[in-house]
Chain A
Amino acid sequence: MHDIAFTLNGRPWSLRVEPRRTLVDAIRDDCGATGTHIGCEHGVCGACTILLDGEPVRSCLMFAVQADGRALRTVEGLEKDGALHPLQRAFIDHHALQCGFCTPGFLMLAVGVLERTPNISDEALTDVLSSNLCRCTGYQNIVRAVRAAAEEMAP
């Protein structure tokens, strides 16, 4: 067993975990933050995407011990003081979700990308958003939502 510590949405956590425990299991089952979903456990679907020190990562492909000393952000941390993040608002306004299972992964992917590249080109955005799977929407409205939020978030 290993003792690890990280912050999740700004809150410090200390956990004792088996070396094989995946980061997503630690987030969901040990920290109780079940907004991050598990869709494939082999790094393809992106439902488990979180931000690790600001970078979008697949939390199903990481071990919890690898998060020791890092800052994690998940969908639960997007809303600030009762106000939705512009991306959350845009997903609602543009009907960018149906069942909502892939939504947290897409939100964190988009947050990570827009924070780093606010003026991302259409082509690059298509490329980035192609790394996650959605089975309900056909993606069109996800692109619209991210585009709309990007404009709102632009400095």
Chain B
Amino acid sequence: MSKAVADAPPRLAPGKGRVLGQPVARLEDGPLVRGRGLFAADVNFPRQLAMRVVRSQIAHGRLVSLDTAEARALPGVVAVWTAAEVSDIPPIPFRATKVRGLEPYCQPILARERVRYVGEPIAVVFAEDAYIAEDAADLVVAEIDELPVVLDAAAEPAEFLPGNSTEPTIVRKEYGDVDAAFRAAHAVIELDLSVGRHSGVPMETRGAIARYVAAHDVLELHGTAKKQHWNRDEIARLLGRPPTGVHLFEGHVGGGFGVRGELYPEDLLVCLAAMRLDRPVKWIEDRREHLVATNHSRQQRHLIRGAVDADGRLLAIDDVFFHDQGAYVRTHGARVADLAAGMLPGPYRLPAYRVAGHFRLTNKTPAATYRAPGRFETTFVRERLMDAIAVRLDLDPIELRRRNLVTEAEMPHVRPVDTLGVDVVLDSGDYIGLMDQALAQFGWDAVQRDLTARRAAGDCVGAGLAFFVEKSGLGPSDGVRISIDATGGVELVSGAASVGQGMETALAQICAEALGVDYRRIRVVRGRTDRIEFGNGAHASRVTVMSGSATYHAALAVRGMALDTAAQLLQARPEDLAIEDGQVVRAAAPGVPLIALAEVARQMGPNSPLMRGRTPGLTAERWFYSEHMTYPYGVHLALVRIDRATGEVRVEKYLVANDVGRAVNPMMVEGQMVGGFAQGLGGALFEEFRYDERGQPLSTTFADYLIPTLSEMPAVDVLIAEDAPSPLNPLGVKGAGEGGTNAVGAAIAAAVDDALRRPGAIVSLPILPRTVRRHTEEPT
């Protein structure tokens, strides 16, 4: 189980604190509402060059020749590179997979010999400004012999390279006697379900700005996100530099959602160019590029079978799925397929389980993680199965879930599978309790009565629900260093990153609570490799769990140091002292300041007589380690209305109920739920990357790739539960980043079925008007 360092402090007492647990305003907002943020495109250096990527317009083909002469001749063009110029740079590696044998499928930074998707970088232009670079890119002429395309991951695998098929691996997991369970089953339910290709699509496109500072022999990369330390190490390795000679910087990040901050070809190209051309190099992705170049996600087809007894209790699930990885295996390796396989069983007691995930390449944009990766997909699949079982056995879908949900008494619940390389142990939860709370808050029974009346009046309306289990707090480690300066200012340096989620505020609240200072006096430094040696970044809903716990440890350590020094100065006992609002006080008389933390910090300076022979500074660094993830859970309830004439689905009412163990800032947690829901809504009803039969992408503008606007948003109600604090960390927190997205597709599908009065009608996402109309127009 989880362990912390030897001086691990006690768990934080339950309940709201002075600042922890309070909906305080965010530290991040000041510069952002003033237009004073620093997003990638806002970074500029003197003498910088603009980089423009020439991308393949063919989905699969042999790269015969690239004529760059005309581009090179354009005034203002400094260089044009093709694969020949970067042949010494290895392809982009992966970090997040245990699966072996994926190496032949890695993406080169510029295509060599073959192109495999529309949007693949084939050449790159460097020019004095972005307009000239774009002009020159248009002058590069590619001759490509078109080859047959693979667009369906469920079709027979083809050849990727001689000796390598388009199926690099099959992710298999199994426990229990699945075959015996199916033989003994009262009923077997089989479904064929698909989730469409969509992705994070943050409002800020990617960007990368590199410069080489010769004076210090340091290569800097700006505009980074998510995984600075790993990316730094890999960039250093691929360019043959020591990691201490490469530094990554994070400004503001305009949304991450899984896709941003992975190591992409463009990141390496700007670094390489900054070194070779000896000028800063800036690349800003445009939106059309983004929609074909940045990671896609989600696309899977599942053939699932469930075995149940006469009471509807699950005996076994056997799932075969086809994961459409796109053209290359990027940094995540097979992570999404692995997560899908590991997380599919969700909240239910499942005696036997077998899954085979066919991880397959196609001639589309490479895919990787997007908010609730592998869970948005498998919650849809699993909850569709549960609904189908309820129909087959003529059971109420809620009663069926009640019979199968793991109970509080069964926690922690060990499931004999792993995901992300760690065993799945559902750490804590009251699933049935939360379902009941959610049904009550949604007014499920009243909604049902209302639906009956509205249907009688001719409305096409329905309600549905879906349960989910999330995962969060992926280890193994994160560190935080907290220092108090001689003015009483607090600096918190974290190896995590910000993707706009509010992590600075959350860490400051935890620090403020433990230390006894105003959270607004805490400066949170993140995403910078030059300020902290290690870090595991911001992804997998890990920051509040991992960096939050490290913050708590470090803040208590600094507090202890401050009280020891103050006790010496005041000739008191440290245990009689406390810190309130930056002042050391007697615990018995908290209103009377005795000495300011600023003064304590001064007394702990390197020239202070108190510090002779000791390491100076009111500063401490602490690390938190975790070998297991913690599993938030929840339920989504949806009420939808269908326009029979157009097939449009409108969500009228929605509830996200999510147990997060402890909400550090309920306002921000609610923001995560509602924003997460909006992204789930996109995947459920609107967003899809479509391709024609030659692999040409058809969703390359925001007129074709439809992100929900305010008009599509229902009123979303949020139930934040704190019933099941995680036993795995001192704060009891579980991640809150992905639960809002996880079950949206599943819940809306159930509600649409109900509105159509056709159980099982919805077998794929997104639920497009034409699909709905097919059902409304057919006689029942």
| A residues at B contact (CB < 8 Å) | 18, 20-21, 28, 33-42, 44-45, 47, 74-76, 78-79, 84, 88, 91-93, 95, 97-104, 107, 126-127, 129-143
Contacts and interface: CB of A to CB of B under 8 A. Distances in A.
Interface stretch (B338-346, B671-679, B761-769): B671-679
Contacts of B711: 126-127, 130
A9 to B, nearest CB: 10
A130 B709 contact: yes
Contacts of B677: 138
Given A34-B35, A92-B26, A139 B678 contact: yes
Given A75-B34, A127-B711, A133-B709, A100 B28 contact: yes
B500 interface: yes
B232 to A, nearest CB: 23
A99 B499 contact: yes
B42 A136 contact: no
B707 A133 contact: yes
Contacts of B287: 39-42, 45
A73 to B, nearest CB: 11
17 contacts: A28-B42, A37-B203, A37-B254, A39-B204, A40-B702, A42-B701, A45-B287, A79-B34, A99-B256, A100-B32, A100-B33, A107-B33, A135-B200, A136-B255, A137-B675, A138-B675, A138-B677
Contact of B203 (A36, A78, A133, A140): A133
Given A126-B710, A140-B716, A35 B679 contact: no
Contacts of B678: 135, 137-139
A97 B29 contact: yes
B707 A100 contact: no
Contacts of A104: 35
Given A34-B42, A42-B701, A95 B203 contact: no
Contacts of A74: 35
B37 A100 contact: yes
User: Chain B binding site: helix, strand, loop or mixed by DSSP?
Assistant: loop
A35 B29 contact: no
Given A133-B203, A135-B202, 16 more contacts: A33-B35, A34-B42, A35-B37, A42-B703, A44-B702, A79-B34, A95-B25, A95-B668, A97-B32, A99-B253, A99-B255, A107-B33, A126-B710, A130-B709, A135-B679, A141-B671
A33 B26 CA distance: 24
Contact of A100 (B41, B201, B254, B674): B254
A136 B371 CA distance: 12
A138 B716 contact: yes
Pairs of residues from A and B, 6 with the lowest C-beta to C-beta distance, nearest first = A35-B35, A99-B500, A100-B32, A101-B254, A75-B35, A44-B702
Given A37-B41, A95-B26, A101 B204 contact: yes
B36 interface: yes
Contacts of A41: 286-287
Contacts of B42: 28, 34
Contacts of B131: 18, 20-21
A98 B32 CA distance: 9
Contacts, number: 165
B501 interface: yes
Contacts of A35: 34-37
Nearest to A90: B33
Nearest to A91: B33
B35 A98 contact: no
B34 A28 contact: no
A74 B711 CA distance: 25
A36 B499 CA distance: 19
Contact of B713 (A42, A79, A140): A140
B5 interface: no
Contacts of A100: 28-29, 32-33, 37, 252, 254, 500
A91 B29 contact: yes
A72 B760 CA distance: 55
Contact of A98 (B23, B34, B502): B502
Contact of B32 (A34, A79, A103): A103
B257 interface: yes
Of B32, B677, B701, B702, chain A has the most CB atoms within 10 Å of the CB of: B32
Contacts of A130: 709-711
Nearest to B713: A139
Contacts of A126: 710-711
Contacts of B303: none
B702 A142 contact: no
B671 to A, nearest CB: 5
B39 interface: yes
B339 to A, nearest CB: 22
B738 to A, nearest CB: 14
Given A84-B33, A92-B26, A141 B252 contact: no
Contacts of B668: 95
B710 A142 contact: yes
